[in-house]
Amino acid sequence: MDLAAWILLFKGAWTTIWISGTSIAIGVTLGLLIAIIRQRSIPFVDQFLGLYISVARSTPLVTLVLFIFLALPALGVHLDKNIAAILSLSLNTAAFNAEIWRSAIRNFSKDQREAAYACGMTEWTFFRSIMLPQVISVSLPALVNEMSFLIKGSPAVAIIGLVDLTRVTNRISSVTYEPVYPILGAGLIYIVIISILVKAQSVAEVKARRLAL
């Protein structure tokens, strides 16, 4: 491949990175919020969130992307393709993240909670200072695993016209009639992205363990 092809690949990679990164940030935060709300066991709210999680986890990502980008306009909701892509990925990963967070919160030691309240700690202080660091430490491997799945599933957004890494790879292959090198180049970029994510996990786990001490 020539330099121009590599430049196109890196441009596509940047689209993949910022779309996936934004969706991960939203999905992780939304998932934590959903997990906290579900711990309250509020009637109807818990059932609604449970239904959302079930539907989102069982719906193919490409179907969700198409629904948000093509079906919502029929209901009067018109979204830019970048917003539609981020919304689709965020809703998908938030459902998985919510169950990861929920499992960690549900298995948290009740003794620590009772001891904190006995010392006069407020619920928010306990959650922020004691519970959250430990929950993050426990959840990180599963969260990062879900993040990597999202990045590898992000080519689904190409179906609505976003020029991500996979779409650029297809374009280069169709022009040069040499699919092997563009595919290998894209594969290498994906490996680098996931490797950076895994390395960040290791650093975050160390920090989370320190905060939990």
- Asked if the model's pLDDT at residue 212 lies above 70, the reply is no
CA neighbor of 192 nearest in space, from 2, 10, 4, 8: 10
> What are 136's two structure tokens?
């993050």
Cα 200 to the center of its chain, rounded Å: 15
Q: What is the count of structural domains for the chain?
A: 1
pTM score of the predicted model: 0.88
Cα–Cα dist 186/191, whole Å: 9
Cα–Cα dist 93/9, whole Å: 25
- Asked if the model's pLDDT at residue 114 lies above 80, the reply is no
- With bands split at pLDDT 50, 70 and 90, how would you rate the model's confidence at 208? low
For residue 147, give the CATH number of its domain.
Answer: 1.10.3720.10
Cα–Cα dist 199/196, whole Å: 5
- With bands split at pLDDT 50, 70 and 90, how would you rate the model's confidence at 125? confident
Tens of pLDDT, residue by residue over 26-85, are 999 999 999 999 988 888 999 999 999 999 999 999 999 999 998 888 888 888 899 999
Mean pLDDT of 150-176: 87
Domain holding 99, by residue range, is 3-212
Who has greater pLDDT, 39 or 2? 39
Torsion, Cα 13 15 20 23, to 10 degrees, reads: 170
If you search the block for the tokens 């330099």, which residue do you land on?
A: 3
> What are 48's two structure tokens?
């609604």
Q: Which residues, 6 or more positions from 130, have their beta carbon under 8 angstroms from its beta carbon?
A: 112, 116, 121, 212
